[in-house]
Amino acid sequence: MKLSLIAKAIGISFTGEDVEIEGIHTLDDASSSQMSFLDNEKYINSLENTRAKAVLCNAAAAHKVPEGCIALVDEEPYLKLALASKLFAPAVIELEGAEPLIGEGSFVSDKAFISKGAIIGKNVKILPGAFVGCLSSIGDNTVIHANVTVYRDCEIGKDCIIHGGTVIGSDGFGFAHTKIGEHVKIYQNGNVVIEDDVEIGANCAIDRAVFGTTRIRRGCKIDNLVQFGHNVDIGEYSILVAQCGIAGSTILGRNVVMGGQSATAGHLTIAPFAQFAARSGVTNDVKDGSKTYGGFPLMEQRSWLKLQAKLARLLKPKIPHVK
Amino acid sequence: MKLSLIAKAIGISFTGEDVEIEGIHTLDDASSSQMSFLDNEKYINSLENTRAKAVLCNAAAAHKVPEGCIALVDEEPYLKLALASKLFAPAVIELEGAEPLIGEGSFVSDKAFISKGAIIGKNVKILPGAFVGCLSSIGDNTVIHANVTVYRDCEIGKDCIIHGGTVIGSDGFGFAHTKIGEHVKIYQNGNVVIEDDVEIGANCAIDRAVFGTTRIRRGCKIDNLVQFGHNVDIGEYSILVAQCGIAGSTILGRNVVMGGQSATAGHLTIAPFAQFAARSGVTNDVKDGSKTYGGFPLMEQRSWLKLQAKLARLLKPKIPHVK
Amino acid sequence: MKLSLIAKAIGISFTGEDVEIEGIHTLDDASSSQMSFLDNEKYINSLENTRAKAVLCNAAAAHKVPEGCIALVDEEPYLKLALASKLFAPAVIELEGAEPLIGEGSFVSDKAFISKGAIIGKNVKILPGAFVGCLSSIGDNTVIHANVTVYRDCEIGKDCIIHGGTVIGSDGFGFAHTKIGEHVKIYQNGNVVIEDDVEIGANCAIDRAVFGTTRIRRGCKIDNLVQFGHNVDIGEYSILVAQCGIAGSTILGRNVVMGGQSATAGHLTIAPFAQFAARSGVTNDVKDGSKTYGGFPLMEQRSWLKLQAKLARLLKPKIPHVK
């Protein structure tokens, strides 16, 4: 899409040479055919080094836009990003396109629905009520249980099991906010990739990335009712117990264990092999993966146990000291 | 239904002039063609002022029933309410009735199911596996993703997005209890109204009202796996992050923010603009909407942080003071 | 299946008389035609008394295997169990077999799917998008709402209501682990039994047993988004409020009440009539069912309230005592 058209659509004046923009990404990850945005001064270094062809930013940051990159200046660049994201959103469902390909030995229930352009591997089983969106793919030997929903553009690997009711590829939770408190959707134009040998329990929710990919790596095992925000990256062989939640953009190293009802904040990095007891609440990066953590705020699990024991003693009646 | 028939069905003796009863509602909200009930002495004022045509109550309260209102006296009025509620429950699915209306430009998958009497607006998209119950309506431009369930009698506004697996209009969680500990269902004969410009994430659950309406107001944005009890009322532009829960009859003002895994008790009123950190547990009304709250029990978030810091210091080894 | 074939498939050398093995179960519950396993020294007594025809165990325990029982010795018996479990896993879906039986007066939507060998009672309602797996049964008068998933081999009683999106019979969360941190699925070859008069809310997840049965007993009432691990046993008339979770193998007595977002650890026994406030975290057996508990770690709810009040006072500025 021509930048001039984007600028017009989102209400920013733009003069100069027009260019073709193929999508939107972060300052760090945008290619030279994409546009980007600066919504937080702490990313100013990323702005100075971006390869993006154009950037939404405010006037104060405009002079940091690198040569060859076009500044689209506005006092609310994040709001303009939201408006621009809609221009790149693919259709919810494609009615035209290639018939889906179904691999040899696969069973697809006639009460499931496989969308245009989807590719189903060999020996796959897709049960009644399952939905596979446009251009999504399912690897060999994978089982998609009844009433699973896989949105468009997602990839599920080989030898996976996806249990009933789980939703893969729903929109991430991202909005810009107007001055009067309304919320403007940032279209989530990324996808979800589930690697090989992953099992996902019933009624989980795995959001697609805003840009790029939400990724669940090889060999992860996920229990029921688990929440994944957009752009999370779950390391190989991690174990996530029921009702836990991983907020957006958090990265788990390999073999992390998240206990039941535990949760992380967003934008964190968790060291490989770290273990989190049930109900842990992780709000900072975890750099030491050799330990078991617990509590909220988070501490080592043995410290949390000790602290709780101390607190419980506050309830004991005071026994007067007798000399 | 004739009151004499209701009384007979629920095992209460009734003499006097028979009347037609059109439904059941609370003492405050019952019209003069409905019946009501008193199950808690604290609502005695409501009893004295009710417009209901008949009231289930115990003998002690019977003399407070206003003139023109018929007292149906029983030692277990709440249990009798449960029995009566069943008499007014509509069919789970209607096999007869008007064909659904589908507005211009709408796409309804032939693997979705639109029930009798439903009304679908213009430019709506309804994906495979979605279910829209009898007499429910979907506003213009709304997207209903795959495997969404909308029960009967519910209304979804314009420009909404409902993500995969979400259930709207399931029965609220209401039971009367017998003396031997069995539970008798109170049929949930109300509905759910989702206003315009609301987005609801994947695998949420929004219960229909017992009487009246569970309402999610204009512009609310709701993440995945969020729970709404019956009769909640969520104010305009509120934001509810993943895995939070709002218990029955709680009212949120506009622009309230509920963090991930936070929750409220039932029957609360939360001031507009109040913000709740992740894992907040709200058990009382919140009257000051200018603050951010956290913790369980709830306090200001900055107090909670200070308190947790103090508690963590209890773990430090005591260093002897040296003069 | 011949034991010699099993041994070969899982890589254990086996000589001696061959026997027919019909399945796998725990040491305590295995019949004389089943095999079992010892993965934890604390069950050594169970090993000595097992009726199993063969047992997977390590060399140290082999001499405790009772007469008539064949020891299959390996340094990683739990990993071998995982491999063996796959041999007994039934097909995900049967394409051959008896047509399902539908009882008199029942309504089954032509957009629901009833699998081979399933038995549907009288006056049942099965709404669009619901799935009933092979050989499963649904009792008289039960309502299965839209997009419910019932896996194979499960039983749902009479007079039940199962709300939209709920999944019954998904695989329990059980894995053996290799030395390099990979996880090997223990196939969950048990089932789920829901007894009569149970109501289950929307988007719950109820895992099938690894061996034997996950059981929800008569008259239980379960809210939305509730998690049940494999092999739990929920006592009659228990009430489980939204978003709570019961971990694997935990047994609740009758009329237990679990508050919203509460949870239990696995392998616990909870006394009848015990009540747990919202957010309770139960990590030990509860023997006194006459009380209301709360907090995490768990204590009596009134103690928890007292403790929280004390802690809140730590925030108060210290006022100097004036004589």
- Is-contact C114 C108, C-beta < 8 A? yes
- Taking alpha carbons only, the member of C68, C58, C54 closest to residue C24 is C54
pLDDT higher for A13 or C137?
Answer: C137
Active site residues of C: 230
For residue C49, give the 3-state DSSP assignment: helix
**Does the CB of B242 have a partner CB in chain C at under 8 Å?**
no
Angle between helices B301-313 and A301-313 (to 10 degrees): 90
Q: What share of chain B in percent tops pLDDT 90?
A: 94
Distance of alpha carbon C258 from alpha carbon C274, whole angstroms: 9
Predicted ipTM of the assembly: 0.96
**Would you state the pLDDT for residue B16?**
78
Which among C92, C151, C310 has CB closest to A125? C92
Q: Could you tell me which of C98, C105, C27, C104 has the C-alpha nearest to residue C114? A: C98
pLDDT (mean) for C167-176: 98
For residues B206 and B191, the answer to whether their CB atoms sit within 8 Å is no
pLDDT higher than threshold 60 for residue C265: yes
- CATH dotted code for B3-87: 3.40.1390.10
Residue A170 confidence class, pLDDT cut points 50, 70, 90: very high
Whether residue C323 has pLDDT greater than 60? no
Question: In chain C, whose CA is at the least distance from the CA of B302?
Answer: C315
Instruction: For an interface test with C, give the residue of A109, A110, A126, A145 to mutate (most C CBs within 10 A).
Output: A145
Point out which residues pair with C257 in neighbouring strands.
Answer: C239, C275
Distance, in Å, from the CA atom of B256 to the CA atom of C82, rounded to the nearest integer, reads 48
| Per-residue confidence (pLDDT) for residue A17, from 0 to 100 | 86
pLDDT at position A267 is 97
- Nearest chain A residue to B113 by CA distance is A129
Whether A237 has its CB under 8 Å from any CB of chain C: the answer is yes
B69: helix, strand or coil: coil
B303 contact C CB<8A: yes
Overall pTM surpassing 0.95 (yes/no): yes
User: Can you tell me the mean pLDDT for A192-200?
Assistant: 98
- Per DSSP bridges, beta strands A292-294 and A299-300 are antiparallel
Contact call for C299 and A312, based on CB within 8 A: yes
Average pLDDT over residues A74-82: 97
Determine the distance in angstroms separating the CA of A184 from the nearest CA of chain C, rounded to an integer: 28
User: What average pLDDT does range B264-277 have in this prediction?
Assistant: 98
What is the CATH T-level fold of the domain A101-306, as seen in this structure?
UDP N-Acetylglucosamine Acyltransferase; domain 1 (2.160.10)
Least confident of B69-73, B155-159, C317-321: C317-321
Confidence of residue B317 (pLDDT cuts 50, 70, 90): low
pLDDT at A320: 64
Q: In this model, does residue C159 exceed pLDDT 60?
A: yes
What's the mean pLDDT in A146-150?
A: 98
Total residue count of chain A as it appears in this document: 323
DSSP secondary structure letters along B181-206: S-EEE-----EEEE-TT-EE-TT-EE
Structure tokens at B272: 């507009």
- Beta-carbon contacts of residue C265 (< 8 Å; ≥ 6 apart): A278, C247, C250, C282, C283, C284
Flag whether residue A265 sits within 8 Å of chain C, measured between CB atoms. no
Element (H, E) at B302: helix B301-313
Q: Calculate mean pLDDT across residues B123-135.
A: 98
How far is residue C82 from each of residues A273, C78, C176, measured CA to CA in Å?
A: 23, 6, 6
Q: How many CB atoms lie within 10 A of CB C304?
A: 23
Res A14: pLDDT: 83
Instruction: Check pLDDT > 90 for residue C16.
Output: no
Give yes or no for residue A319 having a pLDDT over 70: no
Q: Position of tokens 């959001």?
A: A207
Mean local confidence (pLDDT), C270-287? 98
Contact list in A for residue B127 (CB cut-off 8 A) is 92-93, 131
Q: Do B171 and C199 make contact, defined as CB atoms within 8 angstroms?
A: yes
Cβ-based contacts of A165 with chain C (< 8 Å): 147, 149, 165-167, 203, 205
Q: Would you list the domain boundaries of chain C?
A: 3-87, 101-306
Q: Yes or no: say if C220 and C237 are a contact pair by the CB < 8 Å rule.
A: yes
Interface check for A218 against chain C (CB to CB < 8 A): the answer is no
Segment B79-107 mean pLDDT: 97
Percent of chain A's residues with pLDDT above 90: 94
Model confidence at A316, pLDDT cuts 50, 70, 90, reads: confident
How far is the CA of A125 from the CAs of A97, A158, B112, C96, in angstroms? 23, 12, 21, 15
Instruction: Tell me which residue of C292, C317, C297 sits closest to C307, measured CA to CA.
Output: C297
Question: What pLDDT is recorded for position A171?
Answer: 98
Is the pLDDT confidence value at A322 over 70? no
Q: Residues of C204-237 as b/e, b for ≥16 C-beta within 10 angstroms?
A: bbbbbbbbbbbbbbbbbbbbbbbbbbbbbbbbbb
Q: What's the pLDDT score for residue B17?
A: 86
- Residue A317 pLDDT level (bands cut at 50, 70, 90): low
Taking CB atoms within 8 Å and a gap of at least 24, the contacts of B284-290 are B289/B253, B289/B256
What's the number of CA atoms in the CB half-sphere (13 Å) around residue C36?
A: 25
Q: State whether residue B59 sits within 8 Å of chain C by CB.
A: no
Supply B20's token pair: 């037609």
What one-letter code names the amino acid at C276?
F
Nearest CA to B86 among B186, B173, B5? B186
Q: Which is nearest to B113 in space by CA: B149, B81, B80?
A: B149
Q: What mean pLDDT comes out for the span A274-288?
A: 98
Residue ranges of E strands in B107-164: 107-108, 113-114, 119-120, 125-126, 131-132, 137-138, 143-144, 149-150, 155-156, 161-162
- Report the length, in residues, of chain B: 323
Mean pLDDT to the nearest integer, C209-217 = 98
Q: Which of residues 176-205 of C touch B (CB under 8 A)?
A: 199, 201-203
Is the four-CA dihedral A285, A288, A292, A298 of positive or negative sign? negative
Using pLDDT thresholds of 50, 70 and 90, give the confidence band for residue C316.
confident
Confidence of residue A90 (pLDDT cuts 50, 70, 90): very high
